[in-house]
Amino acid sequence: MSKFFSNYFILLIISFRNIFRNRNRSLLTVLAVAVGIVSTSFLTAIQIGSRKQIQDDAVRNMLGHLRVAKLQSFDETTALHRIDKPKEQDLQILSNITESKVSERIRANAVVLTERESRNIIFLGVVPKQEIGVSVLDPRFSIKEGRYLSGENDEGVIIGNSLSVRLKTSLGKRVVLLTQDSNGKSIERGFRVIGIFKTDLKSIEDSYVVTGLNTASSFLKFDNQISDLSFLINDTNKISEALDKLKDYFKNQNVTNQDITVKTWEEMEPFLLAIVKLQNGVLILWYSIVIVSVFFGVINTLLMTVVERQKEFSLYRALGLGSNLIIVNVFMEMFILLLFGSFIGILLSIFIIQILLSGGISLTMFNDGAELFGIRSIIFPYFSLPSAINFSIILITSCLVGIYFPTRNASKNRPTEGLVR
Partner 1 sequence: MSFIKINKISKSYVDGMALKYAVKEMSFNIEKGDFLVLSGPSGSGKTTLLNLISGLDVPDSGGIIILNENLAELNLSLLSDKERDEFRLKNTGFVFQSYNLIPVLSAEENVYFTLQLLGVSKEERKLLAREMLDRVGLKDLYLRRPSQLSGGQQQRVAIARAMVSKPALILADEPTANLDSSTAKQLLDLMVDFNREFKTTFVFSSHDEQVISYAKRVITLKDGILLSDTKKNF
Stretch that binds partner 1, among 16-24, 188-196, 227-235, 382-390 (CB under 8 A): 16-24
Size of the site for partner 1 (CB under 8 A): 27
For position 412 contacting partner 1 by CB under 8 A, the verdict is: yes
For position 336 contacting partner 1 by CB under 8 A, the verdict is: no
CB of 28 to partner 1, least distance (A): 19
| Residue nearer to partner 1 on the CB measure, 320 or 359 | 320
CB of 352 to partner 1, least distance (A): 35
**Residue 343, SS3?**
helix
Q: What is the DSSP letter of 284?
A: H
| Residue nearer to partner 1 on the CB measure, 350 or 419 | 419
Stretch that binds partner 1, among 2-10, 100-108, 213-221, 279-287 (CB under 8 A): 2-10
Output the CA torsion 262→266→270→274 (10° steps).
Answer: -160
Backbone φ/ψ region at 276: left (φ over 0), alpha (ψ -120 to 50), beta: alpha
Residues numbered 289 to 328 that lie near partner 1 (CB under 8 A) are: 311-312, 315, 317-324
Query: Taking the mean position of all CA atoms in its chain, how far away is CA 310?
Result: 49
Stretch that binds partner 1, among 94-102, 255-263, 370-378, 407-415 (CB under 8 A): 407-415
- 337-341, long-range: CB within 8 Å, 24+ apart, which pairs? 337/19, 337/26, 337/29, 337/30, 337/33, 338/29, 338/33, 338/298, 338/395, 338/396, 338/399, 338/400, 339/392, 339/396, 340/30, 341/29, 341/30, 341/31, 341/32, 341/33, 341/34, 341/37
For position 415 contacting partner 1 by CB under 8 A, the verdict is: yes
**Residue 87, SS3?**
coil
- Cβ burial of 170 (10 Å; 0-12, 13-18, 19+) is middle
For position 3 contacting partner 1 by CB under 8 A, the verdict is: yes
| Residue nearer to partner 1 on the CB measure, 166 or 317 | 317
CA distance 322 to 313: 10
For position 23 contacting partner 1 by CB under 8 A, the verdict is: no
| Residue nearer to partner 1 on the CB measure, 221 or 412 | 412
CB of 399 to partner 1, least distance (A): 22
CB of 315 to partner 1, least distance (A): 5
Instruction: Please report, as ranges, the residues that interact with partner 1 according to CB under 8 A.
Output: 2-3, 6-7, 9-10, 13-14, 17-18, 21, 311-312, 315, 317-324, 412, 414-416, 419
